[in-house]
Amino acid sequence: MQPLGGIGAVCREVDALLVVDAVATIGGTAVDTDAWLLDVVVGGTQKCLSIPSGMAPLTYNDRAERKLLARKRIERGLRISVEEDRAGQEAPIRSNYLDLGQLQDYWSPHRLNHHTEMTSMLYALREGVRIALSEGLEARFSRHRLHESALTAGLSAMGLELFGDPANKMPMVACVVVPEGVDGERVRGMLLHGFGIEIAGAFGPLKGKIWRIGTMGYSCRQTNVLHTLGALEATLLRCGFRLPAGEAVQAALGVYERSGFSC
Amino acid sequence: MQPLGGIGAVCREVDALLVVDAVATIGGTAVDTDAWLLDVVVGGTQKCLSIPSGMAPLTYNDRAERKLLARKRIERGLRISVEEDRAGQEAPIRSNYLDLGQLQDYWSPHRLNHHTEMTSMLYALREGVRIALSEGLEARFSRHRLHESALTAGLSAMGLELFGDPANKMPMVACVVVPEGVDGERVRGMLLHGFGIEIAGAFGPLKGKIWRIGTMGYSCRQTNVLHTLGALEATLLRCGFRLPAGEAVQAALGVYERSGFSC
């Protein structure tokens, strides 16, 4: 959970835009766009909103809009220096598809056709957001925190180490250090093919070093947490990792019991 | 129907790529990609394939692939001159989303994640293509020609003029010259709100001058042709345009009768 407080104020001092990738967070934890002075927030549908993938809801403020419209004007024929072009500042928009200025015209009263919208998906988006709001955002955020607690209690009880600063952990993903001597990809394969459970690996410098276990949206529920802990324990035992058998699921059940949660 | 024969050979002589927009044609008429030496063909799902909108099926050959992979290598750190950049030749790929090189990695055996695919739509695509192939491509092309004949016979019988060179008319769209003294947008509004039929206007220099009537995919059928002719006739009469009442639908019915078509 990148701490975002304070960054927005500095961005305004230096006339920079603050653009936030909230793909994995919207619907699962608070994203206080205006209070945090975020200029642009880009979300996703397929994570904590549990809506079919393929869309990126976004919001931006008037600061960002002024920038967009300035670029648009340049595209329409004003001169542009090579230096500006190289720096990528106020450069002409090269993609006809990813042009928010044209998208604004599309949803303006003129309804200027920009591209052909994927209408079926918009119905899915509306229904998914309706379901999320029926649960209530605060209840949804609280649900993500509860199952995170149960999952991480189970992981710790297995003797596994969480990766990253606990103070900034996001509630919908648990990053787990692959233990010394364990083949992380083999564990992922056994979980997927033997138990029908997919957990993620990682990219870049963390490739092969951590697993990422998601508890997002619809999938963020007790049955998934308990099955995943049981399956991961069995898989790790099978791979020769020494752990206190049976304790992971008990630790998670303890969290649920203490929270008064049942179902 | 842009005649494409011969262009491909010239493109190869001058080492240019021939990229064809077949959005409105695939599924409605033959697109002989290899025989016509087309290097890239970009299609759409929402026209003659009658599959939910939001996807662009495409095909490209090894000539196009070499170009793509060359751009990709440059993006990975080779130098690029200002002149190349300004000319847009071999320039770095600016859009992470619209990067076919990365998409190739996605569908390679490595399955390198590029973006989150809109999986629900892929199921729709598969089902839609299955339906198209169940009808048979030749039968589908023939169906588009039949209903085109009926529609254009009806339009001519109303005294309307088709726009464009008849030798190159595409079978799935009829472009009609808006008659002198008729407000084309008023006619479109009356058709839409009074009869539930949407026909298109046009963009650019043809804006306000022609209507475009589509007979595409699932919508390309007798009931639609007859209703549209009847509704257009009534609307034009209402707008004060003089035409021989009743003849449009009769002309279309004559085409169906002579073709032995029934349903």
Distance CA B36, CA B261 (A): 32
What is the average per-residue pLDDT within B225-233?
98
- The reply to whether A139-259 shares the fold of A7-132 is no
Output the six-digit token pair for B178. Answer: 């808006």
What was the pLDDT predicted at B80? 46
Q: Nearest by CB to B94, from A44, A94, A120: name it.
A: A94
Residue of B nearest to A23 (CA): B116
Q: Rounded to whole angstroms, what are the CA distances from B169 to A252, B1, B166, B175, B235?
A: 68, 6, 5, 9, 25
Inter-axis angle of helices B119-135 and A119-135, nearest 10? 140
| SS3 call for A200 | strand
* % of chain B residues with pLDDT over 70: 91
Q: Does position B78 have pLDDT exceeding 50, yes or no?
A: no
Distance CA A91, CA A39 (A): 20
Q: Does position B89 have pLDDT exceeding 80, yes or no?
A: no
For chain B, domain boundaries: 7-132, 137-259
Q: Nearest by CB to A118, from B97, B117, B121: name it.
A: B121
Angle at B67 between CA B66 and CA B69, to 5 degrees: 65
- In chain A, which residues have pLDDT < 70? 72-92, 262-263
Fold classification of A7-132 is: Aspartate Aminotransferase; domain 2 (3.40.640)
Distance CA A137, CA A26 (A): 10
Output the six-digit token pair for B176. Answer: 């009609």
Span A1-50, pLDDT tens digits: 999 989 999 999 999 999 999 999 999 999 999 999 999 999 999 999 99
What was the pLDDT predicted at B91? 61
What was the pLDDT predicted at A262? 67
Class of the CATH domain delimited by B137-259 = alpha beta
Among residues A245, A94, A228, which one has the least CA distance to residue A173? A228
Three-state secondary structure readout of B68-128: HHHHHHHHCCCCCCHHHHHHCCCCCCCCCCCCHHHHHHHHCCCCCCCCCCCHHHHHHHHHH
Confidence of residue B95 (pLDDT cuts 50, 70, 90): confident
Does the interface ipTM go beyond 0.90?
Answer: no
Q: Tell me the chain A residues in contact with residue B55 when contact means C-beta distances shorter than 8 Å.
A: 118
What was the pLDDT predicted at A113? 77
Q: Tell me the chain A residues in contact with residue B86 when contact means C-beta distances shorter than 8 Å.
A: 82, 85
Q: Do B53 and A116 make contact, defined as CB atoms within 8 angstroms? A: yes
pTM for the model stands at 0.84
Q: Tell me the chain A residues in contact with residue B214 when contact means C-beta distances shorter than 8 Å.
A: none
Q: Does position B29 have pLDDT exceeding 80, yes or no?
A: yes
The DSSP annotation for B136-189 comes to -HHHHHHHHHHHHHHHHHHHHHTT--B-S-GGG--TTEEEEEPPTT--HHHHHH
Confidence of residue B221 (pLDDT cuts 50, 70, 90): very high
Among residues A198, A192, A160, which one has the least CA distance to residue A179? A160
| SS3 call for A136 | coil
Q: Rounded to whole angstroms, what are the CA distances from A56 to A59, A70, A93, A100, B109?
A: 10, 23, 19, 12, 27
What was the pLDDT predicted at B71? 78
What is the average per-residue pLDDT within B23-45?
96
Residues of chain B in Cβ contact (below 8 Å) with chain A: 44, 46, 52-55, 82, 85-86, 94-95, 97-98, 116-121, 124
Residue of A nearest to B94 (CA): A94
Q: Tell me the chain A residues in contact with residue B202 when contact means C-beta distances shorter than 8 Å.
A: none
Fold classification of A139-259 is: Aspartate Aminotransferase, domain 1 (3.90.1150)
Q: Do B53 and A117 make contact, defined as CB atoms within 8 angstroms? A: yes
Q: Regarding predicted confidence, which is higher, B141 or B98?
A: B141
Distance CA B112, CA B169 (A): 43
Q: How far is CA B259 from the centre of its chain?
A: 26
Q: Tell me the chain A residues in contact with residue B201 when contact means C-beta distances shorter than 8 Å.
A: none
When the pLDDT of each residue in chain B is averaged and rounded to a whole number, the result is 91
Q: Does position B135 have pLDDT exceeding 90, yes or no?
A: yes
Candidates B42, B80, B121: best to mutate against A (most CBs of A within 10 A) is B121
Candidates B111, B118, B207: best to mutate against A (most CBs of A within 10 A) is B118
Q: Tell me the chain A residues in contact with residue B121 when contact means C-beta distances shorter than 8 Å.
A: 52, 54, 118, 120-121
What was the pLDDT predicted at A76? 46
Q: Regarding predicted confidence, which is higher, B53 or A78?
A: B53
* CB of B54 closer than 8 Å to CB of B23: no
Q: How far is A103 from chain B (nearest CA, A)?
A: 15
